[in-house]
Structure 1
């Protein structure tokens, strides 16, 4: 990271002196260029606080009589970004959905901390390939590189604090946006190193490499919905579970990799023993469950055993309805079964069942794309064209998600897609839950109307 540039970015949005915030009200407003939805929705954690419809100039405004100080996020479907709000804030944003995060700018009262947090987010996204490239280094060298980058950002925060009177909670959020990224990199390092070097074993790490673990707090409620703290904990428990399985359960690396049920059961047990905060417990247990159900594709017997353990450790999990729905969806999408009763629309707006589409062709592959993810759309279109040549006996059916009807129709024509093989849905949540869609690289293969593989990947399953 270029330190002077980072300082310049921060100081450009800083007003000298301390700002006195007398009013309990909060004003949040802005302009969305190239909107992808009619609304902007403001959330605190998982709760909708308020929403506003865009006017004819694509502007919105939300006024709160009072606000709990802390981290929020605003949603302009299908994108979202985090913001920090305190009483008295009058925060304005402007962004272009074609470059959502990079174009976002905050102004007004509360701009300083929000522009800093946004800069931390953007720099984290940009530096990840660099961090990964360092993973071929020896542990001490990697550690030094990581600490140097962390020091630069910590210094930038110190400079901001000289210019702006930040609350203790704002400082906590800002510090978390720095340190937990670098903790995450250290948790991933041994596995990255083994992958990039081709070694069979992970490198030996001295006692100092994980020094930060000695002071870890697994129960910071204010950070329960902080993306970097939460992501760190998920990676940390992955690492701990792997190491415990290898040393404590006396299983070899390949057994840990292959026995996903045991590995995920171990994670549930560790989370139960270390995390007491309700929000974090529920979210971390949910993460393990969703990851296992969507990505492992285990036998029905093992799935049943996992769910029984999940309910034992987290009987009152507030995400239980979602997890039960995914669990049932996985059961319904087993080989030999028919597709769930899902309706989609053709280019003329006519509704048709997925099962009817599948029965029209002997071999069918359903794939998914979104008009709001331009790069993914280009990549998936290119991949489908390749597969059509590799698998000429298969019919490839595109299902669009999260794109307004007229825009979708325009994209079909502009990109010369065959209208007979393209459909869309207005209810992505229903489609996602019933078809168990964990990512848009997913493919569903059917033969004679019956499921062959409901969890195929367009890049690795053919």
Structure 2
């Protein structure tokens, strides 16, 4: 796998590797010492976060050479994640593993190479993940196929990956604990395609193929342990459950409902199915929270939100996560048409703090961007410049969501977006909590008094210019059918 990268990586820190080798000797039966280290080129954060089940175990600061190293006196074997925010990836630790990783943050997933004790299993997972990602990038056209051709295509693709999986399993002789993740990476990518097909085929071709599916089409569901707590935070499993619930909860006779009522009924269906299907409390809460986050950020109908919460609270027992959901729900209610935008602190290019309350001295559009999404950075500013020429009665304010002031200033100097007010959020967690910002594509429109005209629009929406001309009511955003899930 990427042999030239491996050779370069092995050369970069021979001293650390020597230490790892010495650590592999003489472990006692009750010793769970483990080591993790590596190098991050072009880092997007000065820290590597080491996490399990979404909880940060340690925050490891990069040194002057962008390297990191940590010893764990006792590390429970299992699956972990490491992050150089906003990107993350998985790493599996067996007892006493000593793992180093090389990352180029500009091409995060494709650049990752592991070495040291425990490296082969992790390199296998990365290679299988990248195979799945490559397959996902080419998948859209096959959803146009008829049922027989579609099944033949995905079965052939699965068999190729299964052959790779079985060969590595035989070669590395890993145990059942690791195999749970290896098999999940193989299987759930395949299962997700089967769940997605009927809906996407109908959207793309207009043909409903549900009645044409073979009787055994969904037989694979019988073999799935929906209560597997070990996989509860593993994205291939969670993504599959999301696709399966989307499929099972779909309402066929949707012409009888308005768009917002359809969204409510569909998402309550998801909650009901999840409660019936999943009995393990941990797994159920993760899935319920996923459904809730997605629904609350797509549908801003206040009456329907209340009905959704009633069902959500009936099933969820996760108090800590529930508080997060409640905060988002509260923030959404504060962002209704006619309300003042809650105050947050922003920063200008000179490092001065600017209150958001002082921005809207005229009709205003707020949009967001990050240096980590360069294509969006360019596209959104270009779009704004076009709207600015057509609507001189509006001011357009760009809010950067990154932490590094100097990198932000340097980026502004590089691109020189004239005529757009450029500010940076001082505290992302604050703006996330008060403005319900969880994705960079959100756009907020204010009137000349700083009151909200539309807090949940998108500058790339086809009807965005209508929002500028009129005083629109808050409406559900167009549903985006996304396949890109880990």
TM-score for the superposition, normalised by structure 2? 0.86
Structure 1 CA distance, aligned partners of 2:39 and 2:33? Answer: 21
Residue 52 of structure 1 is matched in structure 2 by 60
Residue 330 of structure 1 is matched in structure 2 by 332
Residue 479 of structure 2 is matched in structure 1 by none
1:135-187 Cα deviation digits (max 9, x unpaired): 11111211111111111111111111232121211111011001101111110
Does the C-alpha gap of structure 1 residues 69 and 253 become closer, same or farther in structure 2, counting only changes over 3 Å? Answer: farther
- Find the residue that maps to 1:399 and give its secondary structure: strand
Which stretch of structure 1 is more off in the superposition, 252-261 or 202-211? Answer: 252-261
1:139 equivalent to 2:147? Answer yes
Task: Note the C-alpha offset of 1:375.
Answer: 2.3
Structure 2 CA distance, aligned partners of 1:139 and 1:200? Answer: 11
Structure 2 CA distance, aligned partners of 1:452 and 1:203? Answer: 45
Structure 1 CA distance, aligned partners of 2:25 and 2:141? Answer: 45
CA contact 2:36–2:69 (8 Å) conserved in 1: yes
1:112-148 Cα deviation digits (max 9, x unpaired): 1111111222222222132221011111211111111
Residue 161 of structure 1 is matched in structure 2 by 169
How do residues 254-265 of structure 1 correspond to structure 2 at under 5 angstroms? 255=257, 258=260, 259-265=262-268
1:307-337 Cα deviation digits (max 9, x unpaired): 1221111144431110010000000000000
Flag structure 1 segments of 5+ consecutive residues without an equivalent. 14-18
Structure 2 CA distance, aligned partners of 1:412 and 1:211? Answer: 54
Task: Note the C-alpha offset of 1:28.
Answer: 0.5
- Find the residue that maps to 2:320 and give its secondary structure: coil
Structure 2 CA distance, aligned partners of 1:124 and 1:89? Answer: 26
How many residue pairs were aligned?
442
CA contact 1:6–1:156 (8 Å) conserved in 2: no
Residue 365 of structure 2 is matched in structure 1 by 365
Residue 283 of structure 1 is matched in structure 2 by 286
RMSD: 2.4
1:236 equivalent to 2:244? Answer yes
Task: Note the C-alpha offset of 1:386.
Answer: 2.9
Structure 1 CA distance, aligned partners of 2:439 and 2:259? Answer: 22
Flag structure 2 segments of 5+ consecutive residues without an equivalent. 10-23, 466-486
1:232-263 Cα deviation digits (max 9, x unpaired): 00110111111xx44xxxx4466385521111
One of 86, 101, 107 as aligned partner of 1:99: 107
Does the C-alpha gap of structure 1 residues 322 and 381 become closer, same or farther in structure 2, counting only changes over 3 Å? Answer: same
Structure 1 CA distance, aligned partners of 2:86 and 2:334? Answer: 27
1:25 equivalent to 2:26? Answer no
One of 171, 194, 219 as aligned partner of 1:211: 219
Structure 1 CA distance, aligned partners of 2:258 and 2:285? Answer: 25
How do residues 332-351 of structure 1 correspond to structure 2 at under 5 angstroms? 332-351=334-353
Residue 16 of structure 1 is matched in structure 2 by none
Residue 446 of structure 1 is matched in structure 2 by 446
One of 53, 77, 88 as aligned partner of 1:80: 88
1:272 equivalent to 2:280? Answer no
Residue 459 of structure 1 is matched in structure 2 by 460
Task: Note the C-alpha offset of 1:395.
Answer: 1.4
Structure 2 CA distance, aligned partners of 1:20 and 1:205? Answer: 56
CA contact 1:370–1:403 (8 Å) conserved in 2: no
CA contact 1:364–1:395 (8 Å) conserved in 2: yes
Task: Note the C-alpha offset of 1:32.
Answer: 1.0
Structure 2 CA distance, aligned partners of 1:113 and 1:390? Answer: 56
Residue 378 of structure 1 is matched in structure 2 by 378
- Find the residue that maps to 1:209 and give its secondary structure: coil
Structure 1 CA distance, aligned partners of 2:460 and 2:237? Answer: 31
Structure 2 CA distance, aligned partners of 1:6 and 1:196? Answer: 37
Does the C-alpha gap of structure 1 residues 353 and 326 become closer, same or farther in structure 2, counting only changes over 3 Å? Answer: same
Structure 1 CA distance, aligned partners of 2:421 and 2:400? Answer: 11
1:362-419 Cα deviation digits (max 9, x unpaired): x211011111222222222232223323433321110001241110000000001248
CA contact 2:402–2:408 (8 Å) conserved in 1: no
Structure 2 CA distance, aligned partners of 1:342 and 1:333? Answer: 13
Stretches of 4+ moved more than 3 A in 1? 5-10, 19-23, 198-203, 251-258, 315-318, 389-392
